[in-house]
Chain A
Amino acid sequence: MSKNTSKGFFESLADGPSTDEFIKGLWKDNPVFVQVLGMCPVLAVSNTAENALAMGLATTFVLLMSNILVSLLRNFIPKQVRIASYILIIATFVTITDYAIQAISVELHKSLGAFISLIVVNCLILSRAEAFASKNTIGKSILDALGMGIGFVFALFCLGAVREILGSGSLFNFALFPAGFQNWVVMILPAGGFFTLALWLLLFNVLKEKKAS
């Protein structure tokens, strides 16, 4: 079995259109800005750039691992119970990630809080499993997961950076402005998350419209 899969793996890597699977997640089908998926962690932990980056990387890891497993098992999982199986697979990897982050940095684990566990219910991961990994070879699924994951990290970072710069006057805890700078406290508060995301989406919509006309 493992021999077969490894063969399929390399064959699929040699497939022509694979780079498309990677690129599309970065810009054209960006999970946050274009598909508007996985909003809860996007808004909740993007109050600083560091949190946003950590959350993005954790999500990418879970996305990658679950895409690999779902793609490997796609011919064995009965259609009726597929969603339940996908969620179980995702929950397993999230548990692993949760414990790993706790081992690496207790401080980070505290500031992300329950939102690491909530990666389980990130619609992005389930939608990739259902819409892509369950129908495609493992190589393509890996590229898809990496593309989407990096797109997700990029989007989270965009939000986190804006909110941290305006809300705390710093980026990655380095102060950017002279001492007289008045922090925009609203940016760290929940309302700031909604506003920042709305403005980023607006920017993307305007760009799309310009391109179309």
Chain B
Amino acid sequence: MPIFCEKRQLVMPGDLLAEGDYSAGDNTYRENNKIYATRVGLADYDKRGLYVVALKAFYIPNVGDLVIGKVVEVGFGNWTLDIRAPYLATLRASDALDRPFKPQQDDLPSIFDVGDLVLAKIVAYDRTQDPLLTVREEGLGKITKGQIIEIAPTKIPRVIGRKGSMISMLKKETVCQITVGQNGSILVKGNTSEDERLAIMAIRKIEQEAHTSGLTDRVTEMIRKEKGGVGNVPESK
């Protein structure tokens, strides 16, 4: 039962990955006992089967994901948000108010208006309905301070890093609060706009060099240089 690709091999749609009784994981499909890639990416396999880590993909909502969305429409009893996905997301008035919507009393635009950015979580999503959001948890709601940077959703894992190593370093070095939306939008909140600018620069660098190794160290060095001090390569954790 042969596997035709190597680990981390660049594959493209239609490339034959394996033949036989393997399971078809992410970004693959099975036809006539053969497994093929569906997207450009790096092929890999484990005991569960074959899969491809896509290099180019758009964000597909998952229940539980933290996302940053932009209000594009204020409806009757709800808001519609653009979360940079194939589907627009809905936030119900009753969710934001934490009680039933009272049309006579409640003025929705005063809570969230068109153009506002909102940090929310996806509570429901399936084939028959657009994603449903909630802002009822701690920390969720309208974004009033800080700056937003949008990157390709496939690079988000790199920004977080192995066991959160990259993002902890970023937070520490830039002294910023960094909230990562799974949909590729990242909120950076610092004490000064200079700190925020540094964080954004660092994230851009990660996005561009995501394919290289030793990135954590290089980004740290870059931040320190920018801050004015001589960059010392920190001890790796």
Partners in one complex: no
A residues in contact (CB < 8 Å) with B: none
B residues in contact (CB < 8 Å) with A: none
